[in-house]
């Protein structure tokens, strides 16, 4: 016999836990179908872009040195621009991570005396030093670029009155962060972002609108660039890299904004013309090709986790039934062992490093110990199944990723098994 139950037993999932999972899953069929439809739409969007850009086997060749006339690199940038409906794009292994892509987009498009305005409240942690909210060497503040911020309303929507009042003559760039990141506010939908862009552009068409698109790509059919964002920015070790890109970031947007970013990334005068692709092109293309279905797998995992843990009485953000606009799931355990057991389960389900037990440690930049679970092919990749959380109240685990739905499912069942065995949950 080779039943599903048996193979799960082999992997340490007891029949009680497996059956509980199946019961929850039975109620999620329709939602999963809608996720598959979004993936289908986005898959076709990407294929169409690849065909229009005439991607060929030659595009996977490598370049070294200056990288002049690298057809693979140039064509890939066309594919991104075509997919996100922008004039141009910069997609490079020389952009080291999401923070770097955002710092690049900002520093390239702001000049001394300009003001940057965030209209979605506090930006992602790592941007605090980029902007100079927390003083740092090389921050925008050091270059005489000022910063202002408008909080979101209580209900998570944009505060239009406050935005209008915060826009000053020197306001040059407005930042909108799509994903909640690791805050507990709701994630913004693309429609909501579109409304805010229209509002800003009506008041001041000259203001550049940049969207931090991290964790949002391919979750919906449209992207903020479909609603007039001048730049959307993200990391290739999240959604658009499809788990295959070993490094990289992207900026897709208007010709002018992308050009300025290219001059800043390489050098004035050189811009997009240089930058060897160093053998990563095939993984960039193939990862982007897989990204819509990979994102769908991660979304299913997030929804499954929300439904399991909400049914057991834990607070989950977003809740079990909410519409999704990014792939992050938070689960508040309320006690430290809940958080650590959850992370252990995720680690034990990994294809890589499944035999290690994650331990809380004092990570630089945090005021409490942090526990992290990741058994990833690409180090630090958060499109791969991963979880982490600070060891302090409310003992929330932040969970994201899953290159395939069966792996995301196993991870969540493994976490449940762990909590079940220790007697922290029962049904």
Ligand X SMILES: *Cc1c(COP(=O)(O)O)cnc(C)c1O
Which chain residues interact with ligand X by CB under 6 A? 97-99, 102, 124, 126, 177, 179, 181, 212, 214-215, 235
Q: Closer CB to ligand X, residue 258 or residue 378?
A: 378
Could you tell me the smallest distance in angstroms from the CB atom of residue 380 to ligand X?
7
Q: Closer CB to ligand X, residue 95 or residue 412?
A: 95
Name every residue whose Cβ is closer than 8 Å to that of residue 74 and which is 6 or more positions away in sequence: 272
Cα angle: 32, vertex 33, 35; to 5 degrees: 65
Could you tell me the smallest distance in angstroms from the CB atom of residue 196 to ligand X?
16
Radius of gyration for the alpha carbons in the chain, expressed in angstroms and rounded: 22
Q: Closer CB to ligand X, residue 238 or residue 409?
A: 238
Could you tell me the smallest distance in angstroms from the CB atom of residue 96 to ligand X?
8
Residue length of the chain: 427
Could you tell me the smallest distance in angstroms from the CB atom of residue 179 to ligand X?
4
**Cα–Cα distance for residue pair 340/222, rounded to 1 Å:** 37
Nearest residue to ligand X, using CB?
A: 98
Q: Closer CB to ligand X, residue 31 or residue 178?
A: 178
Q: Closer CB to ligand X, residue 150 or residue 416?
A: 150
Q: DSSP per residue over 68-117, as a string?
A: TT-HHHHHHHHHHHHHHT-SEEEEETTS-SHHHHHHHHHHHH--TT-EEE
**Cα–Cα distance for residue pair 244/161, rounded to 1 Å:** 43
Q: Closer CB to ligand X, residue 215 or residue 348?
A: 215
Q: DSSP per residue over 148-162, as a string?
A: EE-PPPTTSS--HHH
Could you tell me the smallest distance in angstroms from the CB atom of residue 330 to ligand X?
13
Could you tell me the smallest distance in angstroms from the CB atom of residue 124 to ligand X?
4
Name every residue whose Cβ is closer than 8 Å to that of residue 53 and which is 6 or more positions away in sequence: 75, 78, 79, 82
Closest by CA to 235, choosing from 365, 374, 93, is 93
Determine contact, residues 196/143, Cβ cutoff 8 Å: no
């Amino acid at each position: 016999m080779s039943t599903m139950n048996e193979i799960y037993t082999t992997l340490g999932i007891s029949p009680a836990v497996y059956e509980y999972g199946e019961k929850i899953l039975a109620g999620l069929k329709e939602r999963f179908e809608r996720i598959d439809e979004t993936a289908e739409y986005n898959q076709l969007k990407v294929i169409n872009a690849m065909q229009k850009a005439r991607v060929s086997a030659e595009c996977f060749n490598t370049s070294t040195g200056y990288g002049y006339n690298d057809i693979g690199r140039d064509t890939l940038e066309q594919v991104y621009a075509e997919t996100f409906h922008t004039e141009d794009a910069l997609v490079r292994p020389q952009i080291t991570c999401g923070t770097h892509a955002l710092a690049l987009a900002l520093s390239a498009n702001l000049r001394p005396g300009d003001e940057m305005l965030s209209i979605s409240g506090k930006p992602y942690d790592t941007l605090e030093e980029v902007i100079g909210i927390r003083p740092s060497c090389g921050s925008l503040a050091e270059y005489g670029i000022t910063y202002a911020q408008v909080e979101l309303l209580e209900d998570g929507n944009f505060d239009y009155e406050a935005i209008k009042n915060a826009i000053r003559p020197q306001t040059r760039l407005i930042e909108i962060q799509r994903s909640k990141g690791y805050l507990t506010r709701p994630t913004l939908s693309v429609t909501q972002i579109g409304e805010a862009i229209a509002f800003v552009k009506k008041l001041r068409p000259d203001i550049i609108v940049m969207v931090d698109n991290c964790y949002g790509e391919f979750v919906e059919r449209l992207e903020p660039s479909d609603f007039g964002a001048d730049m959307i920015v993200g990391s290739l070790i999240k959604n658009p890299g499809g788990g295959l890109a070993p490094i990289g970031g992207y900026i897709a947007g208007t010709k002018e904004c992308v050009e300025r970013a290219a001059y800043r990334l390489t050098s004035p005068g050189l811009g997009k013309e240089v930058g060897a692709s160093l053998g990563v092109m095939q993984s960039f293309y193939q990862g982007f090709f897989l990204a819509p279905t990979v994102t769908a797998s991660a979304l299913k995992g997030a929804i499954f986790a929300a439904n399991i843990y909400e049914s057991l009485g834990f607070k989950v953000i977003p809740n079990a039934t909410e519409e999704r606009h990014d792939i992050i799931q938070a689960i508040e355990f309320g006690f430290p062992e809940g958080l650590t057991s959850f992370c252990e389960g995720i680690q034990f389900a990994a294809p890589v490093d499944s035999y290690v037990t994650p331990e809380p440690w004092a990570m630089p930049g945090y005021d409490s110990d942090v526990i992290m679970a990741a058994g990833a092919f690409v180090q630090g990749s958060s499109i791969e199944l991963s979880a982490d959380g600070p060891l302090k109240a409310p003992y929330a685990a932040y969970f994201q990723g899953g290159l395939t739905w069966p792996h995301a499912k196993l991870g969540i069942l493994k976490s449940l098994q762990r909590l079940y065995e220790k007697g922290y949950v029962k049904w």
